[in-house]
Amino acid sequence: MDPTGAAQRLAEEYPSIAALPREMLEELASSPETMEQSQTQAQLLEALVDQLPAIQTLNAEHEALVEQVEAAAARNNALRPELEALRRDTQDAFTKAKQYEHQWPEVERALLEARKRFTPEAMQVRLHMAVQQLHDETEKLVNDFIDGLPPATSPTSTPMDDTHFVRHYCDLRTRYHLRAMQYEQYTRQRVQWKA
């Protein structure tokens, strides 16, 4: 084996080792280690390892990753004011949501109280009372007409004539019978209230 050819191949494969003086290489190969030599060997080993293709690939990937991380950090720093504003807005919205959550039981109670007027039972009672009220109004209208008294709803104190009485009586009785029919159908469960 030609020592010059081996040295040339070594220099081609590992240029950083080839840059070292020959004496240093011989000394490293033959002498026992001293502190200074140990450091030199470490440098030599590092130079040797750095020339390996796999290590060079890893170093290039590492540098690319470092650049990506630095670019991401720069983008994050650029977005910081916007993100902090978004965080404040989110915190404000969360605080409002918590306030509404604490207010909800009272609002729900008020809603339930307001809906009581519109429950099927309450509607039935109101319909029954309306039927009774219309019946009482027609009876009072008839009694006032027979007694010759003016109607209670009239602004004048003159008794009503026949035409006015018949028209007013028919109107009241029509409304009475419509409501009475609705109430009757409800009691027979033919009508269902939508709650």
The DSSP-derived string for the chain is --HHHHHHHHHHH-HHHHTS-HHHHHHHHHSPP-HHHHHHHHHHHHHHHHTSHHHHHHHHHHHHHHHHHHHHHHHHHHHHHHHHHHHHHHHHHHHHHHHHHHHHHHHHHHHHHHHGGGSHHHHHHHHHHHHHHHHHHHHHHHHHHHHTPPPTT-SSSSPPPHHHHHHHHHHHHHHHHHHHHHHHHHHTT------
What is the model's pTM?
0.42
Rounded Cα gap, residues 74 and 65, in angstroms: 14
Q: Maximum distance among all alpha carbons in the chain?
A: 149
Provide φ and ψ at 156, rounded to 5°: -95, 165
pLDDT in tens, 105-116: 999 999 999 888
If you compute the radius of gyration of the chain from its CA atoms, what whole number of angstroms results?
A: 52
> Under a CB-based contact definition with an 8 Å cutoff, are residues 51 and 13 in contact?
yes
Q: Is the pLDDT of residue 188 over 80?
A: yes
Q: Is the pLDDT of residue 46 over 60?
A: yes
Q: Is the pLDDT of residue 63 over 90?
A: yes
Amino acid, single-letter form, for residue 179: R
Q: Once rounded to an integer, what is the mean pLDDT over residues 19-34?
A: 67
pLDDT score at 97: 96
Rounded Cα gap, residues 116 and 122, in angstroms: 7
pLDDT score at 35: 53
Q: Once rounded to an integer, what is the mean pLDDT over residues 101-107?
A: 95
pLDDT in tens, 129-177: 999 999 999 999 888 888 887 766 665 667 778 888 899 999 999 999 9
Query: How many CB atoms are closer than 10 A to CB 14?
Result: 18
